[in-house]
Chains A and B, each alone.
Chain A
Amino acid sequence: MEALFFNVNTGYLEGIVRGYKAGILTQNQYASLTQCETIEDFRMQLSSTDYGNFLANEPLPISTSTINDKATQILVDQFNHLRNNSVEPLSTFLDYMTYAYMIDNVILLITGTLHERDTHELLERCHPLGVFDTMPALCVATNVEELYQSVLVETPLAPYFRDCLSASDLDDLNIEIIRNTLYKAYLEDFHAFCLSVGGPTADRMSRILQFEADRRTINITINSFGTELSKEQRARLYPVIGRLFPDGNNALAKADDPEQVKLVCENMVPEYRGFFDTSSSRSNGTATDELATSAAYAAALENNFFQMEVNLNKESFLQQFQYSVFYSYIKLKEHEIRSIGWIAECIAQNARDRINDFIPIF
């Protein structure tokens, strides 16, 4: 049924976003990018892609952070174009997407303030999609109550903050708890919104968001080993929408080491089975030191998560008349910018052997 009326409000924007998606770098383009000897060559190669001459006016030498910033700026422009042309409920959907960046920015600012970094420098590092008016005021807050009352009550994040108000002091552990609580509330809220839109949007988006929730659950569990976070606190940070919920979440809340996490995930969700295999074989073979093992484990796991996320987002484009293409495009593009940044960094530092350690999209 959605095919009958979807195009009234959103057909044009969907066409545009699919056009944008056609500009995502392909395997061949990545291959020629990785052949570049210098950043100069790299810029030449990029100018023949959808990025065009976005680096043309930059003074030499171009730093990798400039490349990142400029590429992100292109993404932000595209997003704003979509956002400004959208109507309900797509506009709300796009707003929801910015909340994730807002959460990151808020956390970045309060962490930075805690460590007494320069405010301007921090504001520059914030993601442009998550900028809101009262952001600079975040730097003066010293406890959660103040943070909420003075700044966040005006932002869309206010409802998510309700669960964090009990944490009184801002220290590293509490900030991490706040971040995860916010993200949990955000994911659940976004998921509920997507379900209320219904149809294929709900279908596709809930798959993506459920994976995102599971990923956070697993990451929280693994990162909490060896910290002072209690098991009850940890269980409260798990989003309640993932495919691991509820049985897997309960089991993860009781887990004591990565091996148990692996066991739980593999039993609960067959798709997650492959995630832990590569990491275990690699860590057993190369590193005996426990710290190095867990680092390699986490890196491999993260890589597998990315792979899965890219796949899920690619699948969004197989279905028409739904909103998840907007979400997926932004996610894929972000991913691509990360890959470009990685290649540029490898070229700049002459680390040829690791240049292919990115995940191509198409």
Chain B
Amino acid sequence: MGYLAYSVAGPTSVAGIVGLYLLLTGSGESFNVGRFLEESSPYLWAMTGIGLCIGLSVLGAAWGIFVTGASILGGGVRAPRIRTKNLIRCAGKVYSMVPILIKYNSIIFCEVVAIYGVIMSIVFSSKVVSIPETELYTASNYYTGFSLFWGGLTVGTCNLLCGVAVGIAGSTAAIGDAADPTLFVKILIIEVFASIMGLFGLIVGLLVSGKAQTFEGL
């Protein structure tokens, strides 16, 4: 709780002081969201979006893998048969890996999440082309920048939460499987539901960025 309190209270008080300073010194108009959005480069938005997309996805996958991995290792000491099955819980290549999926579940489910992030980042970065600065500030380029940013944030956040969900469900599944092998298939279904949530983010991310043009000059 301490960290949360500091991380909320710190920026809030700084923002409050700056805001009051601007207001009381008669320059309150310099706090202008519209101008900030207009003047910041579309490249900034696009690149930040791509970074958030892959970064948050990998964070989610890594988190899921460590949560589930620790339990698989511990549970595997007395029930070694669970280790290959539960590998699935972390990976991301859903389609090409269906046969393996059935055998190696937990780790692969988590890993899949990172792969969603990679795919989306590749799609996003294909829209980024270098053009002269004078031709950069057009309506189409603004749209591309913003859609890549928010698309990336959508995909990244979805994948982060999906990875954590798969990780926790997978950890429980590994332990349940270790105790009673007949539970494996039943619990796997719950894990599949968790891992599908990442796919939702991927789809929305594709739709959001699909209408954006590649950066183009006049």
Contact = CB atoms under 8 A, between A and B. Distances in A.
Nearest to B168: A3
Contact of B67 (A7, A16, A22): A7
Interface in B82-106: none
Given A19-B79, A20-B78, A23-B78, A320 B175 contact: yes
Contacts of B178: 15, 18-19, 22
A7 B66 contact: yes
B179 A15 contact: no
A4 B171 CA distance: 11
Contacts of B77: 15-16, 19
A19 B70 contact: no
Interface in A1-31: 3-4, 7-8, 11-23
Contacts of A13: 74
A4 B62 CA distance: 12
A7 B75 CA distance: 12
Contact of B73 (A3, A12, A18): A12
Given A4-B164, A16-B77, 20 more contacts: A3-B67, A3-B168, A7-B67, A7-B171, A11-B69, A11-B70, A11-B74, A12-B74, A14-B71, A14-B74, A14-B175, A15-B72, A15-B73, A16-B78, A18-B175, A18-B178, A23-B78, A320-B171, A320-B172, A320-B175
Interface of B: 63, 66-67, 69-79, 164, 168, 171-172, 174-175, 178-179
29 contacts: A3-B171, A4-B63, A4-B67, A7-B70, A7-B71, A8-B66, A8-B70, A11-B67, A11-B70, A11-B73, A11-B74, A12-B71, A12-B74, A13-B74, A14-B71, A14-B74, A14-B175, A15-B75, A15-B76, A15-B174, A15-B178, A17-B74, A19-B75, A19-B77, A19-B78, A19-B79, A21-B179, A22-B78, A22-B79
